[in-house]
């Protein structure tokens, strides 16, 4: 295993502007190529943890490096560069409903100034991966919830991110569809990505035996597997 962890978090404390301490001194290391579930009751701090990892939320104290970027001292430019290396997937997929599936996946690539010539191929490959090649010219509202979430996975992976952060990506799906969506994330890990997935669904943990980090009231109470 690579001795330098992809994520090195030591005694990280996070406070919202309201003063609420959402994480109270979390220490953990995640290595490249791991698949990690993050579980815990509602309000435990799962979303807060994921937001910290792509620089969407600052740490109030402690030490946090992600892919070699020290998020407590990095310039905003370095944080933006880190964000480009992260693929983020949310429960409410956040697809643009007035845009086609192609555009939803291509727009973030355009923003990052990917060469146009390679873009179409990237979009096609990502859609093929999630089994939705035929949906390329569809609008998201003509797809099922599971299919929309698979488009969100395709969008995240098209940028070939080092780190995939998925915040309850199966929260709105039935169990069979949740299994299918999680399988794609596991497959991405097998291809070399590091995947961190927050979930409420304990059945999924049994279906995909992996490292499980349990948060409770803003602290890590268990880290196994
Ligand atoms: N924007 C915010 N402002 C103030 N407090 C917040 C904010 N977002 C979250 N919190 C608080 O921080 C704590 C952790 O919230 P977080 O959203 O990380 O929990 P979670 O584990 O993701 O919960 P859920 O399973 O409901 O998504 C909670 O006490 C929550 O009320
Ligand atoms: Mg949450």
Give the mean pLDDT per block of 10 residues along the chain (225 residues): 85 94 96 97 96 93 95 92 92 92 94 84 95 97 95 93 94 92 94 96 95 97 94
Alpha-carbon distance 54 to 147, whole Å? 25
Q: Which residues contact 106 (CB under 8 A, 6 or more apart)?
A: 119, 120, 123, 158
The pLDDT of residue 93 is: 79
**Which atom of ligand 1 is closest in space to residue 50's alpha carbon?**
18
The pLDDT of residue 159 is: 87
Q: Which residues contact 154 (CB under 8 A, 6 or more apart)?
A: 105, 123, 126, 127, 129, 130, 132
CA angle 189/193/194 to nearest 5° reads: 85
Burial class (CB in 10 A: 0-12, 13-18, 19+), 198: buried
Q: Ligand 2 centre from 127 Cα, in Å?
A: 27
Q: Ligand 2 centre from 171 Cα, in Å?
A: 10
Alpha-carbon distance values, 185 to 30, 34, 44, 79 (Å): 17, 11, 23, 24
Q: Ligand 2 centre from 121 Cα, in Å?
A: 34
Can you tell me which residue has the tokens 């993050």?
38
The ligand with the least distance to the CA atom of 214 is: 1
Task: Take residue 194 and report the two structure tokens written for it.
Answer: 């590091």
Per-residue H/E/C for 75-142: CHHHHHHHHHCEEEEECCCCCCCCCCHHHHHHHHHHHCCCCHHHHHHHHHHHHHHCCCHHHCCCCHHH
Verdict on whether the full-model pTM lies above 0.85: yes
Q: Ligand 1 centre from 29 Cα, in Å?
A: 22
- Number of neighbouring beta carbons within 10 Å of residue 20: 11
Measuring from each residue's beta carbon to the nearest atom of ligand 1, which residues come in under 6 Å?
Answer: 16, 18, 20, 22, 40, 42-48
Of 41, 42, 48, which is best to mutate to test ligand 1, by the most ligand atoms within 8 angstroms of its C-beta?
A: 48
């Amino acid at each position: 295993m690579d001795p330098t962890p992809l994520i090195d978090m030591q005694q990280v404390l996070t406070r919202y502007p309201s003063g609420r301490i959402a994480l109270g001194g979390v220490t953990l290391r995640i290595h490249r190529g791991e698949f990690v579930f993050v579980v815990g009751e509602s309000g435990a701090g799962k979303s807060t943890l994921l937001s910290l990892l792509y620089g969407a939320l600052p740490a109030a104290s402690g030490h946090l490096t992600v892919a070699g970027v020290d998020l407590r001292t990095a310039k905003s430019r370095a944080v933006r560069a880190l964000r480009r290396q992260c693929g983020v997937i949310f429960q409410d997929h956040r697809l643009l409903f007035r845009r086609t599936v192609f555009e939803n996946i291509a727009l973030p690539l355009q923003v990052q100034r990917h060469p146009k010539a390679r873009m179409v191929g990237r979009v096609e490959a990502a859609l093929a991966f999630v089994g939705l090649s035929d949906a390329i010219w569809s609008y998201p509202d003509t797809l099922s919830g599971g299919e929309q979430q698979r488009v969100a996975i395709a969008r995240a992976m098209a940028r070939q991110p080092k780190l995939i952060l998925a915040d309850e990506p199966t929260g709105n799906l039935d169990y069979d569809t949740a299994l299918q969506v999680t399988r794609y994330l596991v497959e991405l890990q097998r291809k070399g990505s590091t995947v961190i997935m927050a979930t409420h669904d304990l059945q999924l943990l049994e279906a995909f035996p992996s490292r499980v980090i349990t948060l409770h009231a803003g602290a890590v109470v268990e880290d196994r597997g």
